[in-house]
Chain A
Amino acid sequence: MVTTKEIPLKEYVLKGNAACAGCQDMVALRHAHKALEGDVIQVVPACCTSVVQSLWPKSGLAVPILNTAFMASAATASGVKAALKAKGNDHTMVMVWAGDGGTFDIGLQALSGALERRTDFLYICYNNQVYSNTGTQRSSATPLHAQTTTTWFGKTEPEKMLDMIIAAHEPVYQFTANTSYPRDLFDKFKKAQEFEGPKFGHIFLPCPQAWNYPVEKGVEIGKLGVETGYWIQWERVGDEFTLGKHSKRFQDPEKRKPIDEFLKMQGRFSHLYRPKRNDKKIREIEDFIQHRWDMLIRTFT
């Protein structure tokens, strides 16, 4: 893994952008661009990222950004890539940076199309598990029992296992990452540069606004996500699957921290503890976590 000293000093996430305090999206973008080092065109659909970097006449990132419509980022990227090809440019990376809403929900068709066409691009879904831009409505990435402004008493369905859908498209490289492990994230972006063809990265990204936790706790929550087994770090080159070193020990349910440590820090789950712990609902969350592990390991190994 890259050492902190080896990470380039140049900043591509510029000062004075409009992100909230404690925004983990900026952590992800910062390390992604340090890895890609500038030769990239970034496509951004409607989402938090489109707001924070694009307050005209300023530009929030030191790379070319093409903001596009909510459901159209993979299609837009296909066009950018085709134009680069037509002009004989085979080195510039085309990268989509889309939220979970723009990926799991409204943008899924365009994404499926671009993957199937073997588009040479990197699609990043930064997953804050909610429509943050529009004020915290549910997405199909919102976890079971999380409160949003369209699920006031908690969501009644678990999240879509998007990674399985993506894997069925057989990208050349697929990974999950987490902003609490920025060096690992950096390495995965570096690695993504090595492959030609469709690449997909799924980044777990705590959002203090939507999840309702103190802004300085983002890294802690991200780590608890992994340590409770809730979020799984892994990557896949072709069909060669590697369980991430941060997640390895938590494959064993015995070694996982109690899910309460993760849930209790977040306002969106506070109803699970009021007036007293809702054992049934928390059990359901634990069952889903195990189900996801089983699905992942059964499918990929």
Chain B
Amino acid sequence: MKTELMSANYAASRAVVSARVEVVAAYPITPATTVPEQIALLNEQGIYKGQFIRVESEHSAMFACIGASSTGARAFTATSSNGLLLMDEGLHWAAAARLPIVLNNVNRSVSPSWNIHVTHDDSYSKRDTGWIQFYVASVDELYHTIIQSFKLAEDERVLMPVMVNSDGFVLSHTVSPYDHLEPEEVDKFLPPYTPPHWVMDPENPVSHGNIVFPEHYSEFRNMMHEGTKNALPVYTEIEKEYKKLFGKYFGGPIDCYKCDDADVVFTSQGSMGAEAKDAIDELREEGYKAGNARMRMIRPFPVDKIRELGSKVKAFASFDRGVSYGFGGPVANDIRSTMYHMKHRPMIKSYIGGLGGRDMAIPDIKAVILDTFKAVESGELGPEETWNDLKD
């Protein structure tokens, strides 16, 4: 292991080399662009030894990954925003075909208006595809989560594709240190991919993607659901092993900070969760019992962990950097429904903000948490969701 200084996109392309990916197919879009650029460079330099398909669209990128994974190769792609949306048909396809493809989505706002900065609407809109979804908060976490994601996706109990989300620009273009592993080191953790279910092979001809009638369709869909849900316990095993081998641990599906005795827990996805730790420290100094729950995984939704947290707190201040239009904060509403059947139901405040890359600095996060403390005091939920920092 060796510490390197790089942006998240550069590190992601190094993770592809470390994980011995066999096929990459990707198409440029800001802010993901430097991922395919770097993979091309590493490929031409002979450092990335797999195939790189310079496809003509993101739709083709995902389907080239589908073709490669169906033929037993470890496959990877990266994209953002409109690129992810163009992949939609393939995202559903990859999940239902149970192909362990890994995708780095560099979160970016969806058009119009054109905006290349971070909003989580792109990946939020893919929550129901079956893809496992991670959100990371640092370059180091992105690099290692990509490597872990192959192991998770390829596990026979899971066999579902994984999307690792990283905030556009905040992470993608910001240089910071990460601990690099050579492929030979990763070999101890990640064996070559051998499809346990089906593969395109003339020696053993099978057909895949067939027509299935109503008598059997539900059963296949149920297996997808179970596969995605299995990602929670399997990821726990994976993290344990990873920690033992490389000393790296990022906090499980929810990375909790000072939550044990907290009255109010702030939840968020992505890089904001790192910032929030400092906000919590300041609030603690000011006498507020606040905690930080960084949601690393939102599909499958970490139901048990949220219930455990929820059983102890007075309120969640749940922040979404994206919107389910007409309903509100996607993760906030998932937390609400997770808690509905519990005896103790804490107040769940929903905040929406940081859209289009608008800054969410420590004072902004503190203000959100203090607003929730106020609501707890008054006993009034207030608005269904609060748009943070909204101008008139």
Are A and B a genuine interacting pair, yes or no? yes
Give me the interface of A with B, judged by CB distance under 8 Å: 38-41, 43, 50-51, 53-57, 59-69, 71-72, 74-87, 92, 109-110, 112-113, 116-117
Bound CA–CA A196/B41 (angstroms)? 26
| Minimum distance in angstroms from A34 CB to a CB of chain B | 15
Bound CA–CA A56/B15 (angstroms)? 38
Chain A residues, CB < 8 A from B213: 56
Chain A residues, CB < 8 A from B61: 75
| Minimum distance in angstroms from B169 CB to a CB of chain A | 29
B390 near A: Cβ within 8 Å? no
18 extra interface residue pairs, beta carbon distance < 8 Å, beyond A56-B210, A110-B56 = A50-B209, A61-B205, A64-B200, A64-B202, A64-B204, A66-B67, A66-B70, A66-B208, A75-B55, A76-B64, A78-B53, A79-B63, A79-B71, A80-B200, A83-B67, A85-B51, A86-B51, A110-B59
| Given the contacts A54-B209, A60-B207, A43 and B56 also touching, CB distance less than 8 Å | no
Contact with A along B64-102 (1 / 0, CB 8 A): 111111111101000000000000011001000000000
- Sorting the interface of chain B by its residue count into under 10, 10 to 19, 20 to 34 or 35 or more gives 35 or more
Chain B residue at smallest Cβ distance from A67: B209
Contact in complex: B54, A86 (CB < 8 Å): no
Contact in complex: A83, B210 (CB < 8 Å): no
Contact with A along B200-243 (1 / 0, CB 8 A): 11101111111111001000000000000000000000000000
Bound CA–CA A112/B70 (angstroms)? 22
Contact in complex: B207, A82 (CB < 8 Å): no
Bound CA–CA A83/B52 (angstroms)? 10
Chain B residue at smallest Cβ distance from A72: B63
Closest 4 CB pairs of A and B: A79-B67, A67-B209, A113-B56, A75-B60
Contact in complex: B60, A113 (CB < 8 Å): yes
Cβ-defined partner of A116 (8 Å) among B22, B56, B93, B207? B56
Cβ-defined partner of A79 (8 Å) among B59, B68, B212? B68
B25 near A: Cβ within 8 Å? yes
Contact in complex: B63, A59 (CB < 8 Å): no
Contact in complex: A61, B57 (CB < 8 Å): no
Bound CA–CA A66/B90 (angstroms)? 14
| Given the contacts A41-B200, A64-B207, A113-B60, A69 and B53 also touching, CB distance less than 8 Å | no
Chain A residue at smallest Cβ distance from B67: A79
Chain B residues, CB < 8 A from A76: 63-64, 66-67, 70
Chain B residues, CB < 8 A from A75: 25, 55, 57, 59-61, 63-64, 67
Bound CA–CA A41/B56 (angstroms)? 23
| Minimum distance in angstroms from A2 CB to a CB of chain B | 23
| Given the contacts A87-B72, A112-B56, A78 and B208 also touching, CB distance less than 8 Å | no
